[in-house]
Copies of this chain bind each other. A is one copy, B any other.
Amino acid sequence: MNQNHVFIMVENMTTPLLSDSEAPADALPVCLTSPTVAILGSGDFSRSLALRLVASGVRVVVGSRCVNRIPSGLFPDAVELRNQEGAVSQAVCLVFMAVFPEHYCSLLGLQSALAGKVLVDVSNGAEMNIHGPSNAERLAELFPDSLVVKGFNTVSTWELQTGAHDGSRQVMICSNSTEGKKKVVQLARQMGFHPVDMGGLSAAREIEVAPLHLFPSWSGPVVVTFLLFLFFYGYGFLRGILLPFLAQGGHNAFYRLALDLVNESLPAVALVTLALVYFPGLFAAWLQLWRGTKYQRFPSWLDNWLQRRKQLGLLSFLCAALHGVYSLCLPLRRITLHRLVNTAYRQVKAGTEEPWDELGVWRSDLYLSCGVLGLGVLSLLAITSLPTVGNTLNWREFTFVQSGLGYIALTLSITHTLFFGWDFAFHIEAYPFYMPPSYLLAVVVPCIVLVCRCFLLLPCIFTRLTRIRRGCESKRNCPVLQHHHVVANGIP
């Protein structure tokens, strides 16, 4: 008897189901001859899933406990609607459990019908820190004869219905059964998703809480930025409002809380945060220079810091942009009109025109110009942080922007602050209560960063760092390198 490998090409299926040994024809799962997928449940997720499966060329049968009450038109015509027993008893091999985990027990009656089939658990975890087994593991306990696969819980109903069919959405899949995983992987590709294999069913806990994460990589930078803002706001409040009020009483300056103080703190936070973006790169370079090799791991705090640089940079840009808008609002304030009118009044009383203040004019034009250019460069940096724009850049272009333009932005911000400060830092009036102005505190860290970066550009140090990054270690002889600009390791 000839042994035939029966290969069935299912329309749009990308991978034929193959076996790696000769298997008798009668051992092939029946589902391969008429692939139908059943969905238990008739809610929003079930409906979106059915729409997506039909659009991908798969036969769908939906099983609902209240099949008579499903409004007509809710499901597309191509979908068969049956009660739950009817749905699973059809020659299907894959069943989506699109019901809430609380209702799994109610499906125990289908245990025999579901034996040997692949059950896909699409539920999410309810809380971040739940103890005990994951929903998928509980499902596996309830249906020990079925092949339980965890998957599709990270895809929302809206994504299913309207999302792109171009394989851009990742779907995390895990299961203890290789065969079950294989079928779900093929189906996911057929639907236009990209399945990612997460291992065995023990990974289900991690997959179930994945949709519950709330910007995990942003928590550190947001906390740092917020603390910096509190510090500068409190410092400015003390120095500019509270201590003068306690010292002199009378006319208070609490009105400054709403806008002035915010506009003093935001640029300081932006400046320090921007410096914090480039600080870990300098630490890393110094560490490599000191150790003489690049093959030792960085300390974990430095690794974390290096991975949060993009978030810190975007927060710095946000603060700088808000500072820009607040500053542009200054002429709209009531107090600006008040001061203008009284300045004019006093000038008239003085009897002469206001004299020409050349230095004051140069100072204000210079710091305004530097500020606008710095903000412009920072927005170029922010735009290249967008995923698609970043993807169109190669490594050299990306480093040119993030490192080159980044240091230009840092330099422009420092000059903006120094022009704003002008020579006031050298006068005693700038230090009421021995407290220097906020901008002076804020400009310290960026200057240190800039100086260290220039230090790293000195020829001897630069060559040594390049050799280390190209794999040489100080104890071995290294091949002679051309003197070219090599950026390695992703550390600008």
Contact B322–A376 (Cβ < 8 Å): yes
Give the residue name and chain of the B residue nearest to A348 (CB): B348
Residues of B within 8 Å of A373, CB to CB, are 322
Residues of B within 8 Å of A133, CB to CB, are none
Residues of B within 8 Å of A14, CB to CB, are 14-15, 189
Contact flag A2-B5 (CB < 8 Å), given A258-B369, A345-B354, A357-B334: no
> What 0/1 pattern do residues 1 to 38 of A give for CB contact below 8 A with B?
01111111101111111111010000000000000000
Contact A326–B372 (Cβ < 8 Å): yes
Q: Tell me, in angstroms, the Cα distance from A56 to B43 when the chains sit together.
A: 33
Q: Does A222 contact B (CB under 8 A)?
A: no
- Which of A68-76, A272-280, A439-447, A452-460 makes up part of the contact surface? A68-76
Q: Does A178 contact B (CB under 8 A)?
A: yes
Q: Tell me, in angstroms, the Cα distance from A158 to B335 when the chains sit together.
A: 51
Residues of B within 8 Å of A181, CB to CB, are 11
Q: Does A164 contact B (CB under 8 A)?
A: yes
Q: Does A427 contact B (CB under 8 A)?
A: no
Q: Does A448 contact B (CB under 8 A)?
A: no
Contact A296–B71 (Cβ < 8 Å): yes
Q: Tell me, in angstroms, the Cα distance from A189 to B5 when the chains sit together.
A: 26
Contact A103–B479 (Cβ < 8 Å): yes
Residues of B within 8 Å of A211, CB to CB, are 394-396
Contact flag A360-B341 (CB < 8 Å), given A18-B9, A167-B167: no
> What 0/1 pattern do residues 150 to 189 of A give for CB contact below 8 A with B?
0000101110000011111110000000100110010001
Residues of B within 8 Å of A423, CB to CB, are none
Give the residue name and chain of the B residue nearest to A488 (CB): B44
- Which of A85-93, A109-117, A136-144, A192-200 makes up part of the contact surface? A192-200
Contact A375–B6 (Cβ < 8 Å): no
**Which residues of chain A in 213-237 are interfacial with respect to chain B, using CB atoms and an 8 Å cutoff?**
213-215
Q: Tell me, in angstroms, the Cα distance from A365 to B336 when the chains sit together.
A: 11
Measured CB to CB, the closest approach of chain B to A224, in angstroms, equals 18
- Which of A239-247, A383-391, A406-414, A428-436 makes up part of the contact surface? A383-391
Residues of B within 8 Å of A484, CB to CB, are 126-127
Q: Does A474 contact B (CB under 8 A)?
A: no
Residues of B within 8 Å of A332, CB to CB, are 327-328, 330-331, 364, 368
Residues of B within 8 Å of A361, CB to CB, are 255, 333-335, 338
Give the residue of B12, B214, B344, B482 whose beta carbon is less than 8 angstroms from that of A347.
B344
Contact A22–B4 (Cβ < 8 Å): yes
Contact A343–B337 (Cβ < 8 Å): yes
Contact B166–A167 (Cβ < 8 Å): yes
Q: Does A340 contact B (CB under 8 A)?
A: yes
Count of this chain's copies in the oligomeric assembly = 3
Q: Does A100 contact B (CB under 8 A)?
A: yes
Q: Tell me, in angstroms, the Cα distance from A235 to B68 when the chains sit together.
A: 52
Q: Tell me, in angstroms, the Cα distance from A362 to B42 when the chains sit together.
A: 56
Residues of B within 8 Å of A127, CB to CB, are 482, 484
Q: Tell me, in angstroms, the Cα distance from A42 to B297 when the chains sit together.
A: 12
Give the residue name and chain of the B residue nearest to A154 (CB): B394
Q: Tell me, in angstroms, the Cα distance from A157 to B345 when the chains sit together.
A: 66
Q: Does A329 contact B (CB under 8 A)?
A: yes
Contact A295–B66 (Cβ < 8 Å): yes
Give the residue name and chain of the B residue nearest to A398 (CB): B156
Measured CB to CB, the closest approach of chain B to A138, in angstroms, equals 13
Measured CB to CB, the closest approach of chain B to A159, in angstroms, equals 8
Contact flag A372-B74 (CB < 8 Å), given A158-B490, A194-B167, A392-B387: no
Residues of B within 8 Å of A395, CB to CB, are 154, 156, 211
Q: Does A55 contact B (CB under 8 A)?
A: yes
Residues of B within 8 Å of A329, CB to CB, are 328, 368, 372
Give the residue of B7, B71, B340 whose beta carbon is less than 8 angstroms from that of A5.
B7
Q: Does A489 contact B (CB under 8 A)?
A: yes
Contact B259–A368 (Cβ < 8 Å): yes
Give the residue name and chain of the B residue nearest to A362 (CB): B255
Contact B341–A341 (Cβ < 8 Å): no
Residues of B within 8 Å of A182, CB to CB, are 9, 11
Q: Tell me, in angstroms, the Cα distance from A414 to B6 when the chains sit together.
A: 67
8 other contacts beyond A168-B391, A334-B361, A346-B353, with CB at 8 A cut-off? A42-B295, A44-B488, A166-B170, A260-B365, A318-B376, A321-B376, A325-B375, A341-B344
Q: Top 8 A-B pairs ranked by shortest CB distance?
A: A258-B365, A344-B344, A334-B364, A331-B331, A102-B479, A387-B388, A259-B365, A9-B18
